[in-house]
Structure 1
Amino acid sequence: MTGPRYRDPTAPVAERVRDLLGRMTLTEKVGQVNQRMYGWHAYERDGGGHRLTDAFRSEVAAYGGMGALYGLQRADPWSGVGFADGITAADGARVADAVQRHVIENSRLGIPVLLVEEVPHGHQALDGTVLPVNLAVGATWDPGLYEAAAAAVGAEVRARGGHVALVSALDLVRDPRWGRAEECFGEDPYLAARLTEALVRGARTADVAVVLKHFAGQGATVGGRNSAATELGARELHEIHLAAARAGVRAGAAGVMAAYNEFDGLPCVASEPLLTELLRERLEFDGIVMADGGAVDRLVRLTGDPVAAGALALNAGCDLSLWDDCFPRLAEAVERGLVAERTLDTAVARVLALKFRLGLFERPYAPAVDRPSDPRELSERIARASITLLAHDGDVLPLTPSIRRIAVLGPNADSIAQQIGDYTAPQRPGSHHTTVLDGIRSAAPPDTEVTHAPGCDLVGGDLSGVPGAVELAAAADIAVLVLGGSSARSGDTTFDTNGAAIVTSAESTGMTCGEGVDLADPRLPDGQLALLDAVAATGVPVVVVLVQGRPHALPDLSGTAAAVLSAWYPGPWGGRAVADVLFGAAGPEGRLPVSIPRSAAQLPVFYNAKDHGYRGYVDQPATARYPFGHGLSYTTVGYAPPRLSRTRVTPDDPALTCRVTVRNTGERPVRETVQLYVRRLSGGSSWPRVRELRGFVRLALRPGEEADAVFEIDAETLASVTRDLGLAVEPGELLLETGPSSAETRGARLVVERPG
């Protein structure tokens, strides 16, 4: 091939990068590591179409190109983009291609731009498919289902011209007061790791690169306070907060986003020990590191100078900025000697390598994409699989045809906005979405009377609606009470510079969850509890359905509710999923990805705490109301003790098989999630945890059927974090435990012998 080496698609990526980098000016290099423009500022409505703005053209001209453009198709109250002025599915590819064409044709070297999109739980764009939030995905314990959904959503993003998906996957719910709990897969590192690798695999099948958020330890902020300090030691970081990152890197994640929180006194985006020594050297990550929105600008408080702030982040290992004013001044940093040009070259090389790997130099425009499956159907499947039956008296569910009058009550019974979660684009007016009330009306037998009243507001003390709700309940055969929280933003919501909601009181906004919406007390609001008590006092059987983005602290409902289910934020079609479970068209399959507390006073309650044999508080138990892994079904299931193929192994040869026989002892079919935990009884290089999830198997069992759940145990299953923060199988005595939850296990002893 004649022409520049970087134009040769058969040349190795490293050679193409080296050739292109050698042709670039300092200004062009700085342009490649910047992502300061909001995508919605790059276009404006022009009659029936869209035109590129002068601001966008000026940005491209200033740097001889553009490294990345964030959120071209993002729509939400913060961006102010809606159906009147935004980019719909019908327009997405055309506008993306116009952006790409302008960048290529108006840069000296013809370097394409990365189009970066928010994909928190589906593409955050007009007409984008909305999935249940990540906490609901965690409750499915089904990586295969999530991988299929990630592939379908990735195909949707790619068909609209997007290249890079920003997805929360690395944060863990270590404190349910944190408003971003809904963005996490749960509290456990192993479960998060399996879902993170499923996410990356699924997106890669659609040729979409994933940037995993947030690195690292953001879920461990003190008091559940968003973006605040963490008090993580290195061991806690390695034992709990790095497993998902390791899995994502192995699966081929294109990037990670540095978190806002500090680690050992430095914000993550400025931490060389975190971004370079740990991520690059120990985890061998060769992708890009992206700053969180405006995070580099925050470093000015440390440096006193925006040029030095940009240099600090670049020297630490950050490759690509987001919305800040500091990285655009990196040329000054080089000229002042604050950062070496070779350091800038390294960051530019990573950005260019991603563009080459995505094939953007050969195929810069939106492709015709065949969707592997319908993302809306997958969204509903996730919602159905996530519904978790927390408590049940054994008689009320599933609802039978003899139920002729159903009162559907509560502030979350008939609200799409309150079941789709934070970071969601406006929904098209007239779209066929399904609230819980809609789902029950559709699923109920034709002669069933379904009545409805909210009874109370989501928050606040106005109880004027309670008497009407009580009247409906008293006339019904059963009351379905839909309670919980809301992350619904509105046009009246005010925002921080990074898009987080600014909420001074839940009463003023109706938001009780979401970024920037932390709770000191995660219990259900007083009005909802008063409504529950008043309806229960009628004597009618009560089924509580929690539509929530965090594990709300729950009182003892054993004398109040006949059944309690968590539907999380189940997405726009979640009402059908809830109704299917209530009426028995589907059984409840969900298992808790988090522990549900009794009160804020006992926090934290995560199951895998250090094993110090704590007896509990004097005034209340220290245990969770419902433990991690818990979830009931409409049948009964019996577990035999686990059986090991070997009871003694060595660190060099740790392989064995663990089997447990599981029997459906009831009268209904079940999808049972059999869980494997490892508990260290002796040995090891640090104090052990109570137990740690290291495997799970899903079994489908007919009534009376039994089957073996089989776990292949290897070095990764038995490994622990060593004194030098590596991973190794350490000598000692372990208990391999199996069961239906972290609090219901039976174990078999395994000795790991010392070598020699």
Structure 2
Amino acid sequence: MQCMNIAPEASAYGEAVRAVREGALDPDEAAEQLISQMTATELLGLLDGDSPGLLLPLIPMLLRRRPFVAGAVPRLGIPGVRFSDGGRGVVIGASTAFPVTMSRAATWDPALEERVGLAVGLETRARGANYSASVCVNLLRHPAWGRAQECYGEDPVLTARMGSAMTRGVRVHAMACVKHFALNSMEDERFEVDVSVDEHSLHEVYLPHFKAVVEAGADSVMSAYNRVRGEYMDVNHALLTDVLRDEWGFRGFVTSDWVFGTHDAVTSLQAGMDVEMPLRLLRARTLPAALRNGQLARATVVQSARRILRTTVLHAATRETAEPGAAVIASPAHRALARRVAAESVVLLKNEVLGETPLLPLAPAISHLAVIGRLAARANLGDHGSSRVRPPSAASVLQGLREALPRVRITTDSGRNERAAAALAAAADTAIVVVGLDQHDEGESVVTGGVNVGVLGPAFGSGALSRVVTGLAHLASRFVRGGDRSSLDLRPSDVRLIRAVVAANPRTVVVLIGGSAILTEEWREQVPALVLAWYGGMEGGRGLADVLTGAADPGGRLPFVLPTDPAHLPPFDRTAKSVVYDDLWGQRRLDGEGHAPAFPFGFGLSYTTFEHRLLEHRFDDTGGWADVLVTNTGGRRGSTVVQVYAADVSVRRPVAQLLGFRKVTLQPGTETTVRVALDAGPTLQRDPDTRCWSPRAGDWALLAGQHSPVSWADAVRLRRPAEPADEDGISQHERPACHPPAGWRGAAAAPPT
């Protein structure tokens, strides 16, 4: 479907867009002009979806056929918010399926992610939408979260950089929406769970990446289903207004999460949630009477209308002017980009030398390859929830290897019969076992108990009908696929298969497919080569084959820690109705408690070797930079990710804080000096009373390396430039800064070398 001309210049809206584009009006003036021409009914119509509530059962089908529209006013030419999901590609029609967000996080390459965002925005626009809910920056507090694959991992700085890059790319063609605000990282009880969090953890751990994406230009924010400190997010004035708008200065509009994300029509509007998505439900029934009887002030309606119209007019006036045609959808260029991202996301965790060379890349002289496992011949693209993309074609691991090795005899087996699989492996030069997760093991829980069924109408608010519907939802949730994981281990059948194949052929490569951490302790020591390949998108099989054959270097690095024991992570109860979020999770929790990981945050091997040496740095409370000498000490061209960490080394167990990173590719035997932009945020603390930021206490040191540090013995003191004292005898960097640190504002690209 080609992009429609949804705002003709002759309309009032088209004239407003033209005036903003030419500088005759600013966006606020344009919004006011439109509001002055609107009836009360039209104004209220901006505040919820345009589709009737009766379409609720048809949402999954309609979502993949057309944009969902909210707030269209045909009389004035206002196109409305034309929604498409897009975390791994556009969900409408047959579109490019990129690797899932977690896979792209593993590239540690914001510039590459910005290109993905540009492609997603372009295809969104070509499908007739102008709004993409494609930027998910919820922090991975625990890898059992069912929707972990939709986020950028466990670190605020990595998430901020990658999410900001995605935002910049998307909004060249479509409004970019960031989700789910805030503290959403459980699936099965997402409609009911109440998150308790202290001020320190909230502002210094769970919100900085949202702030960064807002600073990067996000047009809209989607509120989460969960409660925070006892209040559902759609009515959470403290976060939606006091923080998001008053403290951060966000000028866009806020939408609800879908259908069951609005709990009170009037209170949610007053709290700062502008649009109930995607249907005419609570607000359509409640707001007209509330406006007439004075329960709702017209000024509150106009305030949200202004945010919505200002944002849509500004974006229409400033986006790329050329209208894309259908040919851009799943185009050769986008397929090639998807393949490159898939290859650069592959994390090589283990690669032992067998004979004289490492097992990977596959030897050029290989003549017989066995590819084994229930996931080997499947294009395993990720969960089947709201972010599902249906590409026109998709390559499995088996297909990718057959295309890459046309002269090699490749035999295959599903692995259901372990003896048959072992026999096949024994007859081959090398065996590749493809195991892991799919949409049945993790993902969005499409049917979930605990929904607020009162949104469907007064009859569902209480009483027998409400109890029946809620009970059916709880019952159905036990049988649907997806949701939070009950274990971080592989399926027992996968473990048995690995052991059988390795026993039959010691030249075995294990490929793990999944959206977050999979524990390997049961079998890792028996396996000579281990690869994490994620849900790699429509070109995932080909991208993985590029890496396995050596056509591409494994460019991925872990966006989370892989522990040896799930007890080293925070508690995770998928049935919990309340949970406490603190500042100890992931690698930081392991550091603080003294647990060695199986593989640390940021880890990943190349087919070559690198050395990193910190040369000099400059750093203050607004950020800084570090110059790192990088040398390719091996015999192949390859890539590394320069990672710069800081920690308070005065404590017994320093906890590493990522400050910055930069990916670099070098030819063998060459070196270069890389300048890495550093975020100040992880070294600062926020005063909850004054909202001022100041340096955290401690003896802070800096270290450059290839993953989260194991030792701080070689760290250098984190120097802040000396500044003259003011009239009070206090240097400027010692004074609290009553503004967010610059490093948390999404400065995604390091300065050029």
Compute the TM-score of the two structures, normalised by the length of structure 1. 0.79
1:148 maps to 115
| Counterparts of 1:613 and 1:197, CA distance in 2 | 29
Q: Verify the 8 A CA contact 1:140 1:590 in the aligned structure 2.
A: yes
- Alignment partner of 1:327 out of 256, 267, 283: 283
Cα deviation, residue 489, structure 1: 11
| Counterparts of 2:295 and 2:217, CA distance in 1 | 33
1:619 maps to none
| Counterparts of 1:398 and 1:390, CA distance in 2 | 13
Cα deviation, residue 261, structure 1: 1.5
1:383 maps to 342
> Per the alignment, in what secondary structure is the counterpart of residue 428 of structure 2?
coil
**What pairs up with 1:114-125 in 2 under 5 angstroms?**
114-125=81-92
Structure 1's 127 and 551: CA in aligned 2 closer, same or farther, altered over 3 A?
Answer: same
| Counterparts of 2:696 and 2:315, CA distance in 1 | 41
| Counterparts of 1:433 and 1:222, CA distance in 2 | 28
1:396 is aligned to 2:396: no
Structure 1's 415 and 77: CA in aligned 2 closer, same or farther, altered over 3 A?
Answer: farther
1:466-492 C-alpha deviation (Å, 9 max, x unpaired):
2221111111111100011002699xx
Q: Give the letter for the 1:191 counterpart.
A: L
Q: Where does the alignment leave 5 or more consecutive residues of structure 2 unmatched? A: 1-8, 453-471, 571-583, 732-753
Deviates more, 1:121-130 or 1:738-747: 738-747
Cα deviation, residue 144, structure 1: 0.5
| Counterparts of 2:13 and 2:107, CA distance in 1 | 48
**What pairs up with 1:154-553 in 2 under 5 angstroms?**
154-206=121-173, 208-219=174-185, 221=186, 228-297=193-262, 299=263, 309-323=264-278, 325-328=281-284, 329-359=286-316, 374-394=333-353, 395-418=358-381, 422-423=385-386, 427=390, 431-444=392-405, 446=407, 448-456=408-416, 465-487=417-439, 495-496=447-448, 511=481, 514=482, 517-553=483-519
Identify the structure with bigger relative contact order (alpha carbons < 8 Å, sequence gap 6+): 2
Q: Give the letter for the 2:593 counterpart.
A: Y
| Counterparts of 1:669 and 1:692, CA distance in 2 | 29
1:231-260 C-alpha deviation (Å, 9 max, x unpaired):
322211111122221111111110100111
| Counterparts of 2:225 and 2:246, CA distance in 1 | 22
Cα deviation, residue 164, structure 1: 0.4
| Counterparts of 1:597 and 1:612, CA distance in 2 | 11
| Counterparts of 1:476 and 1:5, CA distance in 2 | 66
Deviates more, 1:470-479 or 1:1-10: 1-10
Cα deviation, residue 583, structure 1: 0.9
2:5 maps to none
1:268-308 C-alpha deviation (Å, 9 max, x unpaired):
111000000000000100100111012444x2xxxxxxxxx
Cα deviation, residue 559, structure 1: 3.0
Structure 1's 127 and 670: CA in aligned 2 closer, same or farther, altered over 3 A?
Answer: same
Q: Verify the 8 A CA contact 1:182 1:549 in the aligned structure 2.
A: yes
Q: Give the letter for the 2:422 counterpart.
A: V
2:3 maps to none
Q: Where does the alignment leave 5 or more consecutive residues of structure 1 unmatched? A: 42-69, 71-75, 300-308, 457-464, 616-621
2:708 maps to 742
Deviates more, 1:735-744 or 1:721-730: 721-730
1:578 is aligned to 2:544: yes
Structure 1's 664 and 397: CA in aligned 2 closer, same or farther, altered over 3 A?
Answer: same
1:420-469 C-alpha deviation (Å, 9 max, x unpaired):
775455746xx4421100111111251x221111113xxxxxxxx22221
Cα deviation, residue 367, structure 1: 5.8
Compute the TM-score of the two structures, normalised by the length of structure 2. 0.80
> Per the alignment, in what secondary structure is the counterpart of residue 593 of structure 2?
coil
2:461 maps to none
Q: Give the letter for the 2:423 counterpart.
A: E
1:595 is aligned to 2:556: no
| Counterparts of 2:196 and 2:661, CA distance in 1 | 31
| Counterparts of 2:233 and 2:345, CA distance in 1 | 33
| Counterparts of 1:611 and 1:489, CA distance in 2 | 26
Q: Verify the 8 A CA contact 1:524 1:552 in the aligned structure 2.
A: yes
2:38 maps to 24
1:668 is aligned to 2:636: yes
Structure 1's 386 and 153: CA in aligned 2 closer, same or farther, altered over 3 A?
Answer: same
1:518-570 C-alpha deviation (Å, 9 max, x unpaired):
11212111111111111122143211111111211221544321111111100
| Counterparts of 1:506 and 1:401, CA distance in 2 | 49
Structure 1's 485 and 321: CA in aligned 2 closer, same or farther, altered over 3 A?
Answer: same
1:80 maps to 61
Cα deviation, residue 404, structure 1: 1.6
| Counterparts of 2:653 and 2:271, CA distance in 1 | 33
1:699 is aligned to 2:664: yes
2:608 maps to 635
Cα deviation, residue 507, structure 1: 11
Deviates more, 1:346-355 or 1:411-420: 411-420
Q: Give the letter for the 2:257 counterpart.
A: D
| Counterparts of 1:584 and 1:703, CA distance in 2 | 15
Structure 1's 571 and 296: CA in aligned 2 closer, same or farther, altered over 3 A?
Answer: closer
1:623-659 C-alpha deviation (Å, 9 max, x unpaired):
332111000111222233x23356xx775xx776533
| Counterparts of 1:473 and 1:77, CA distance in 2 | 47
Structure 1's 426 and 743: CA in aligned 2 closer, same or farther, altered over 3 A?
Answer: closer
> Per the alignment, in what secondary structure is the counterpart of residue 166 of structure 1?
strand
Structure 1's 725 and 396: CA in aligned 2 closer, same or farther, altered over 3 A?
Answer: farther
Q: Give the letter for the 1:669 counterpart.
A: R
Cα deviation, residue 19, structure 1: 2.7
Q: Give the letter for the 1:628 counterpart.
A: F
Structure 1's 151 and 279: CA in aligned 2 closer, same or farther, altered over 3 A?
Answer: same
Q: Give the letter for the 1:202 counterpart.
A: G
Q: Give the letter for the 1:155 counterpart.
A: L
Structure 1's 258 and 362: CA in aligned 2 closer, same or farther, altered over 3 A?
Answer: closer
| Counterparts of 1:732 and 1:441, CA distance in 2 | 56
Count of matched residue positions in the alignment of Structure 1 and Structure 2: 664
Q: Verify the 8 A CA contact 1:420 1:572 in the aligned structure 2.
A: no
| Counterparts of 1:521 and 1:2, CA distance in 2 | 58
- Alignment partner of 2:49 out of 22, 25, 35: 35
| Counterparts of 1:722 and 1:34, CA distance in 2 | 37
Q: Give the letter for the 1:335 counterpart.
A: R
| Counterparts of 2:600 and 2:620, CA distance in 1 | 33
Q: Verify the 8 A CA contact 2:660 2:678 in the aligned structure 1.
A: no
| Counterparts of 2:80 and 2:640, CA distance in 1 | 46
Q: Verify the 8 A CA contact 1:732 1:751 in the aligned structure 2.
A: no
| Counterparts of 2:33 and 2:432, CA distance in 1 | 66
> Per the alignment, in what secondary structure is the counterpart of residue 79 of structure 1?
helix
- Alignment partner of 2:616 out of 644, 657, 660: 644
1:303 maps to none
Q: Verify the 8 A CA contact 1:134 1:185 in the aligned structure 2.
A: yes
Q: Verify the 8 A CA contact 1:133 1:420 in the aligned structure 2.
A: no
